[in-house]
Amino acid sequence: MNNIRIAYLVSQYPKVSHSFIRREILALEVEGVEVERISIRGWDGELVDAVDLQERDKTRYALKKGVSGLLPAVFKVFFNSPVRFLKTLSVAIKMGIRADRYWPYHLVYLAEACQILVWLKNSKAQHMHVHFGANATEVALLVRSLGGPPYSFTVHGPEEFDKPEFIKLAEKIEASTFVVAISSYCRSQIFRWIKYPQWSKVKEVHCGIEGTFHDIAPVPLSARPKLVCIGRLCEQKGQLLLIDAVNILAKKAVDFELVLGGDGDMRAELEAQIKSYGLEQKVRITGWISSDQVRDEILSSKALVLPSFAEGLPVVIMEAMALRRPVISTYIAAIPELVITGENGYLFPAGDVYALADALEKLLKLSNQKIQQMGESAYARVIERHSVDKEAKKLAQLFRDEISGHEDWQA
């Protein structure tokens, strides 16, 4: 197994809600891939996980010294290759026309690209990989235009599909060597925005769950009627709808407990809604919690609930299924590729509060034996499709194939 060196570029790393990137990096290293961590920002982010804190120490941050701190790298790249620099400046300006952000931001992306290029020349990274098709992928495109290594990127959705023209998704795909889609649904959405001859660039590699998270003896279900919803408190996750649904259960005298695991901009609004319904004794918000705390909350519940309006494929669904807990979620994006109604959970139409309340009541009225059977089915399906080691092998092979197919970019 030949060792290769890859630079991972992320807008913010590590991040509480993006633990799947950390898992992927660590699994790639097991596969003999040397990974250089580079992030635009995130050196001062709030972290609760010990492994995230370790990862932060391994990461270089492009903006840590501010925009002015990028100027030495800009001058160095310009004087080393002024023609290439000016050509890339033109690319950055074009990327800023009818874009999601005003064109001055794209000049900052160029400055970031200059700094990252200097780092990559010193580290001799052979390839860049980026997560999410937004700003960091534009930086990778500019690094490549400046003479840096080829790049690939992983598309997750739904943000990339909300405004593909404005983030120049097609242009980023055209300049890349390959693109990773996290699901079949994700791949189909990418196909919408690129020409047919480029479809072969799109490779499906699932987000993975690590064995240490779920390699534990099955935990028996509690008698408590507890449900858990894990995720950032925001509009697209649908927690407001969930509070409406459990209020319906409360009016019908259905016994339940609900834990909202996470934090976010909508916390105050959710707390006000809970108070208005008088559900303070039934619903609890945890704030940000570590991976171990997420596992404990899931294991002490009967099921995970995620009433999302927009998603890619939530990692927390995989984690709950790996812990042998069924999932209640919506018929959107790639969720139906994993959750099968009546077999390992229940799906309902997104935004339908009565269908959600019915699904919650249906599960809460099942015997523990039936819920355990659904949990075992959930475990079997997710382990088959989302082992981080298996998916990392696929990604590592893509990197090796790509690197073997071109000459050293520093030659």
Q: How many CA atoms lie within 13 A of 361 on its CB side?
A: 16
Per residue in 344-382, pLDDT tens? 999 999 999 999 999 999 999 999 999 999 999 999 999
Higher per-residue pLDDT: 251 or 212: 251
Per residue in 88-105, pLDDT tens? 999 999 999 988 888 899
The CATH code that applies to domain 212-385 is: 3.40.50.2000
Residue 315 to residues 20, 72, 295, 302: CA-CA distances in angstroms? 7, 40, 12, 18
**Percent of all residues in the chain with a pLDDT value above 90, rounded to a whole number:** 86
Return the bridge partners of 5, or none: 34
SS3 205: coil
Predicted pLDDT of residue 407? 66
Predicted pLDDT of residue 102? 85
Per residue in 110-122, pLDDT tens? 999 999 999 999 9
Predicted pLDDT of residue 226? 98
Per residue in 152-197, pLDDT tens? 999 998 889 989 999 999 999 999 999 999 999 999 999 999 999 9
How far apart are alpha carbons 88 and 74 in whole angstroms? Answer: 12
- DSSP annotation of 199: G
Predicted pLDDT of residue 31? 95
Q: Is the pLDDT of residue 303 over 90?
A: yes
40-54, 70-84, 161-175 — which is least confidently predicted? 40-54
Per residue in 30-40, pLDDT tens? 999 999 999 99
How far apart are alpha carbons 409 and 407 in whole angstroms? Answer: 6
How far apart are alpha carbons 381 and 313 in whole angstroms? Answer: 14
Predicted pLDDT of residue 200? 97
Q: Is the pLDDT of residue 411 over 50?
A: no
Domains 4-208+388-404 and 212-385 fall in the same CATH topology: yes
How far apart are alpha carbons 242 and 256 in whole angstroms? Answer: 13
- Domain coordinates in residue numbering, the chain: 4-208+388-404, 212-385
Q: Which two tokens stand for residue 259?
A: 């834990």
pLDDT band at 215, cuts 50/70/90? confident
Q: What is the DSSP string of 120-177?
A: HHHHT--EEEEESSSHHHHHHHHHHHTT---EEEEE--SHHHHSTTTTTHHHHHHHSS
**Percent of all residues in the chain with a pLDDT value above 70, rounded to a whole number:** 98
Average pLDDT of the chain is 94
CATH says 4-208+388-404 is which class? alpha beta
- Alpha-carbon 112 to chain mean position: 23
Q: Which two tokens stand for residue 103?
A: 């064109």
- DSSP annotation of 366: S
Long-range pairs for 29-33 at CB < 8 Å and ≥24 separation?
A: 30/389, 30/392, 31/1, 31/392, 31/393, 31/396, 32/1, 32/2, 32/3, 32/4, 32/396, 33/3, 33/4, 33/5, 33/6, 33/396, 33/399
Per residue in 14-32, pLDDT tens? 997 788 999 999 999 999 9
Predicted pLDDT of residue 34? 97
Predicted pLDDT of residue 24? 96
Return the bridge partners of 35, or none: 6
Amino acid identity, residue 253?
Answer: A
Amino acid identity, residue 359?
Answer: A
Predicted pLDDT of residue 100? 85
How far apart are alpha carbons 146 and 114 in whole angstroms? Answer: 8
Find the mean pLDDT for residues 245-261: 98
Q: Which two tokens stand for residue 33?
A: 């891939």
